[in-house]
Amino acid sequence: MNQLLLGVPIQIGGEEVIICRDSIGSQALSSSRESEVYTIIEGPREDGRPAIYIDEDELKSMRESYPGINVYGLWQLLFANNLVPLGNEVIIFPMGPDRGLYLRLDSSTDVHKPSSILSSSEFVDNFIPEWMDYDLSNASRISLDNLDLVLPTSPAYTRQELFEKQRHDQTKRWYMVASICGLMLIATLVYNYGMYTLYNADMAVYKTKQIQRDELDTKIGELLRERLDKWPDNSAELGKISELVAYDNNLETSPDGETHVGFTTLHQFVTSKYLPFDPAEKVRGIVSEFTPHLNYVIRIDPSEIGGSDNQ
C-alpha cells in the first residue's frame, strides 16, 4: 500500500474501514475553532504520547455517509503500526507531491520521545502556514510502501456513542454480576437442599437408632426385673412330686387348675380313683381333698414346703 485514501471506505486487514484526519499533541486543541468539537479516540499513553482527537462533526458525517463502517484516525493508525519515525522536529505524511499532514515536535525537548509531540496539522504547497520558513526537505517522511497495516484496538466513537457504549458495557457488567449472583444463589440453594436432604436422612437414621435403643432399654429393663438373684432350688417340690408318684404312678395334673411353668406358684394334681389312703398322710407338706369322683386333689404350695418339712 503506497497511498492511503482518507474519508472513503478502504480495505485494511481484511476489513472495510474509513480513515479520517485526526489531531494529536499537547497543543492539538489550542488551534481549533470554537465551533469545532473534538472527541478523544485514544487517551494519553504511559510513554508520554499525547491523546489523539477526531472532529466529531466529521465523524458524524462518516456515520451518515457510510453507516456500519468503523472509522479510525490517520495518526491513530500510523502509531498503531509503529510508522511514526520520531527524532525530528517535523514529521510529514505525504498525500500528494506538495501537500500532506505533519507532526510538529518540541525541539527544546528530546524529540525521540512521544511526549515531545506538540501538534498536528496539514501543509499545502510544501510549506507550513505557522512556520513558513521551515524547509520541509529536512522533515522525516512516513512511507507506506509494501506494508500490511493492522487496525488499532478500538475505532472512533462520537460522544453520544461513547456514552451509549459505556452504558451498554455497564449494563453488561451488571448483568454479569447479576448472573454470577444468581448462579451463586442457585448453587447455595442446591447446596442447602442437599445438606437439608442429607440432614433429614441422617435424622431418620438417628431416630430409627433411637427407637431401637429405647426398645433395647425396655427389654433390658424387663430382663433385669425377671433376673433371679440366685439359682432357683426346686428340689423340695420335685421331691414331693416324686414321693407322690411313688405312691400313685397314675398321678395327673388337675384339669381344673391353672397351668403354670415353673415352681413358684401353687400346683394341683389328681390321684387315681379308689386310692386306699390319703396322700397327705403319706407325704408331709401337701394338702389333699377327697372329691365326689372318688379321688384326691393334691395341692403343693412351694412357699409352705420348707416350714412343713421342718415340723
What pLDDT is stored for residue 306 in this prediction?
Answer: 58
Mean pLDDT of all residues belonging to the chain = 86
Checking if the pLDDT of 32 tops 90, the result is no
All three cell numbers of 181, joined, read: 449472583
pLDDT of residue 261: 46
- Could you tell me how many residues make up the chain? 311
Greater confidence (30 vs 169) lies with 169
SS3 state at 111: coil
Residue 114 CB neighbour total at 10 angstroms: 18
pLDDT tens across 180-228, in order?
999 999 999 999 999 999 999 999 999 999 999 999 999 888 888 877 7
DSSP conformation class of 137: G
The model's pTM: 0.57
Residue 1 has pLDDT above 50, yes or no: no
Q: 27-31, 32-36, 124-128, 164-168: which has the highest mean pLDDT? A: 124-128
pLDDT tens per residue across span 114-165: 999 999 999 998 888 888 888 998 999 998 876 789 999 999 998 888 888 8
**DSSP letters spanning 23-64:** EESTTTTTTS-TT--EEEEE---TTSPPPEEEEHHHHHHHHH
- The predicted structure's pLDDT at residue 257: 53
* pLDDT reported for residue 311: 42
Cα-flanking dihedrals φ and ψ of residue 170, to 5°?
Answer: -65, -40
Is the pLDDT confidence value at 71 over 80?
A: yes
Q: Residue holding cell 455497564?
A: 170
User: 195-228: b or e for each residue (b if 16 or more CB lie within 10 Å)?
Assistant: eeeeeeeeeeeeeeeeeeeeeeeeeeeeeeeeee
Cβ-contact 111, 87 below 8 angstroms:
yes
Higher pLDDT, 26 or 58: 58
Confidence bin at 280 (pLDDT 50/70/90): confident
What is the Rg, in whole angstroms, of the alpha carbon atoms belonging to the chain?
59
